[in-house]
Amino acid sequence: MDAGLLAQYVMNGLMLGMMYALVAVGFTLFFGVLDVIKFSHGDVLTVGAFAALATYVGLRMLGLNSNWLDLVVILVVATLAMAFLGMAIARYLVMPLRSAPALNTLLITLMLGTVLRESVRLFYPQGANPKPFPALLPRASIDLGTFNLRLDNVLMLTAGVLVIVGIQYLLNRTKLGLAIRAVAQDEETARTMGINFTAIVLATFALGSGLAAFAGVMNGLYYNEINFGIGLYLGVVGFSAAIIGGLGSIYGAILGGFLFAALQTIGTVMLPFASAYKDVFAFAVVIAIMAWRPTGLIREKISERV
Amino acid sequence: MSTTPKFAALIAALVLGVASGAADAKDKVKVGFIGPLTGGVSVNGIGGRNSADLAVRLRNADPKSKYEYEMVVLDDECKPNVAVQVATKMAADKDIIAGATHYCSVTAIATVDTYHKFNFPVIVWGAVLPDITYRNKYEEVHRVNGTMINQNDANAELISKLGYKTVAVIHDTTDYGKGHNEYFSKALAKIGKVNIVGTFGVTADQQDFTAELTKIKALNPDVIYFGGLTPIGVRIRSQMDKLGIKAAFDGTSGIVSDAYIQGLGPLAEGTLAFREGAPAEKLPGGKFFMEKYNAQKYDNPPEAYGPFAYAAMDMILDTIEKVGPDRKKVIADLANVKDRDSIVGKITFDDHGQNTVPVITKYVVQDGKFVEWDDSDYASGKRKLPGQK
């Protein structure tokens, strides 16, 4: 295989991995503070992507024609809208069920995911059809032999890295981050230290859901097409990535996301049989990893989560 | 038992004769229609029902016809389990002589055994899966429309004629996609001018195709053939562009929809696609059919397969006129259909009851529309497909 092709595969894998990682980080954050698995996370991503698309359509109707301005506005609107949606889900669905078995939360968010997905399909105009997503990033590309290096991919990867670094900074260097980590570590103690538990949980859900919206917009910009089903698959993959990384660990989630993308790419490229089996391959490896390290690649230290 | 239908018909005729008091009342004969009248594809089912109904009405209005026909309509909901129930109900009713049945492949394939068991002659009017006629050799089952075999023959022929040398195949791993892959590959091999450089099975809801497409990019084919439906067709075409793949995109009937063009915008330009059947106005008897259809003021248009439903029902009525209302005789007569004129062109059934001269329409996307290939700027040479010599 020549270097150009290899570079192309690596680029594809990185883009895919970045989206998986952003979703996985959300799963890990929610699990960190509340010990719940929120299965509607992928569908929040879908709603975020559609919110961005609707905002874009609205902006065009207002006669705004600057790509950069559009991009900033749709990102802000989608992220804020999903942050609110995430808070609402936490406040009205997840928190009231805190004393119920964890299975109930899992079930209720699973059903909420279906509601969100079907709502997009039914209520977005012609929501059952694939929708073109505008290409707002510069379309320049350099052909390096068989490798087509696109500026928009580089920008998206950079933005993804910045977001992840930002999250790290937020969690490790700010007061809010300290509070989130405190709640994750021990809710009771955190409360007695004067931390507003409800506010912290809501903030965490806002953060995770905002990330999902970011991933949704990135998904749209990368593929230039969105549909009501994108979140379902990304949710399953993101969840698996969070689990293999070690649920509760941010680094684990990121590692898991990129690992899963690498497995899928390898599954398509290296395996002699048809690419139809790439998911079988990737998930089989995930099962093997789970058998080998049941608590994930990055083991949770007893007291530290997030 | 075999005298029952005649006896019933006699009773019916007597009752009718007495009731109407008319001495020249014709014998009543029942025929059947099954299609999806509710659910997601019901527009097609209702269009087919109206078209078959039109055939019956026109026949009843004809003073020369020997019988008065009544059409029994049942709804298969495009679901195999429902289809088997309604097919059994229809086939078990000995008064019903023959039926025009099924738009959906899943229902048509599910019911062939039922029709065979009850010796009930049917003519399929819309379903395209080859297995419906070719898996078994049931003398009861016939089909007036083409199959995906014919569609892929036409596809392979056009690709070869355009001078392309290599093609990469992507297909979804459902029966539909696998069928397309199989028949397209066979058709290409038969012509022998184009080589398949790679075949990729993908899941029907896959989002990311960059790994497959990068592999294809390395193979550098002239054409990417896609056997599957609109949603992933849109994704593959759009991701081809992202990776800078310049090959022509060659689809099947699965992508002939407005959603494909809406999902891609300008990128859809130059996409090839093929479909069994033709717009009504392009058919040999299309003008006649549309005039009569519009005169009846049905609520819905006939849709793409309406003319085939009409042709199927018309053939059933012709046969009953010729041999009388007897299932066995109808089956025997349908075994010898050759160059029979119909509104969809000449119909010839092979030994599996499959029409061998079906209409296939070739399409290319031009300026945001599926345009018939022969009428397009691409066929006339004004525009060129990617890589076209």
pLDDT of residue A30: 92
- Asked if B235 is an interface residue toward chain A (Cβ–Cβ < 8 A), one would say yes
Q: Mutation test of the interface with chain A: which of B171, B200, B214, choosing the one with the most A Cβ atoms within 10 A?
A: B214
> Alpha-carbon distance B380 to B376, whole Å?
7
Per-residue pLDDT at B7: 57
- Cα separation, B238 vs B120, whole angstroms: 48
Residue A84: both structure tokens together:
């609110």
CA distance A275 to chain B (A): 6
Q: Higher pLDDT residue, B272 or A146?
A: B272
Statement: residue B19 has pLDDT above 60: no
Q: Is residue B168 packed enough to be buried (19+ CB in 10 Å), middle (13-18) or exposed (0-12)?
A: buried
Which of A127, A124, A123, A38 shows the shortest CA–CA distance to A86?
A38
Could you tell me if B263 and A225 are in contact, meaning their C-beta atoms sit under 8 angstroms apart?
yes
| CA–CA distance, B184 with B293 (Å, rounded to integer) | 36
How many interchain CB pairs under 8 A, A with B? 90
What is the C-alpha separation between A148 and B241, in angstroms, rounded? 11
Q: Say if the Cβ atoms of B235 and A5 lie within 8 Å.
A: no
The residues near B382 (Cβ < 8 Å, ≥ 6 apart) are none
Task: Tell me whether strands B166-172 and B195-202 are parallel, antiparallel or unpaired.
Answer: parallel
Query: Would an 8 Å CB–CB cutoff place B287 in contact with chain A?
Result: no
- The predicted complex's ipTM stands at 0.85
User: Is the residue at A212 inside a domain?
Assistant: yes
Q: Between residues A218 and B10, which one has the greater pLDDT?
A: A218
In a domain, A305, yes or no: no
Residue of A nearest to B258 (CA): A129
Between positions 16 and 55 of A, the ones with CB within 8 A of B are: 16
- Identify which of A180, A190, A191, A230 has the alpha carbon closest to the alpha carbon of residue A25: A180
By residue range, what is the domain housing residue A194?
12-136+150-292
Distance from the B364 Cα atom to the nearest Cα atom in chain A, whole angstroms: 20
Helix (H/G/I), strand (E/B), else coil: B201: strand
pLDDT for A2: 79
Of B256 and B101, which is predicted with more confidence?
B101
CA angle A9/A13/A17 to nearest 5° reads 175
Say if residues B125 and B145 touch (Cβ distance below 8 Å).
yes
Instruction: Choose among B45, B30, B111: nearest CA to B75.
Output: B45
**pLDDT of the residue at A256:** 94
A282-299: pLDDT as tens digits: 899 989 988 988 888 876
By Cβ distance, the residue of B173, B200, B259 closest to A130 is B259
Does A260 reside within a domain? Answer: yes
| Strands B248-250 and B223-227, sheet pairing | parallel
Distance CA B122, CA B124 (A): 6
Which residue positions in chain A have pLDDT lower than 70?
A: 1, 273-275, 299-306
Q: Which residues of A touch B244 (CB under 8 A)?
A: 141, 143, 148
CATH of the domain at A65: 1.10.3470
Q: What pLDDT digit, counting tens, does each position of B109-166 carry?
A: 999 999 999 999 999 998 888 999 999 999 999 999 988 898 999 999 999 999 999 9
Residue A300 counted as domain residue: no
- Contact residues, chain A, for B203 at CB < 8 Å: 276, 279
Q: Which helix (H) or strand (E) holds B217?
A: helix B210-219
Residue B294 host element (H or E): helix B286-295
Q: Is the minimum CB–CB distance between A233 and chain B shorter than 8 Å?
A: yes
What is the chain A residue with the closest CA to B173? A276
Q: What is the pLDDT of residue A176?
A: 93
Task: Mutation target for B interface from A1, A12, A152, A232: give the one with most B CBs within 10 A.
Answer: A12
Domains of chain B with bracketed CATH: 4-146+279-358 (3.40.50.2300), 149-276+361-380 (3.40.50.2300)
pLDDT at B23: 42
Q: Is the dihedral of CA B247, B252, B254, B257 positive or negative?
A: positive
DSSP string, B229-266: -HHHHHHHHHHHHHTT---EEE--GGG-SHHHHHHHGG
Interface of B with A in 171-210 (CB under 8 A): 173, 199-203, 205, 207-208, 210
Residue B42 has a pLDDT of: 81
Q: Is residue A143 one of the residues assigned to a domain?
A: no
What is the domain count for chain A? 1
Q: Would residue A144 count as lying in a domain?
A: no
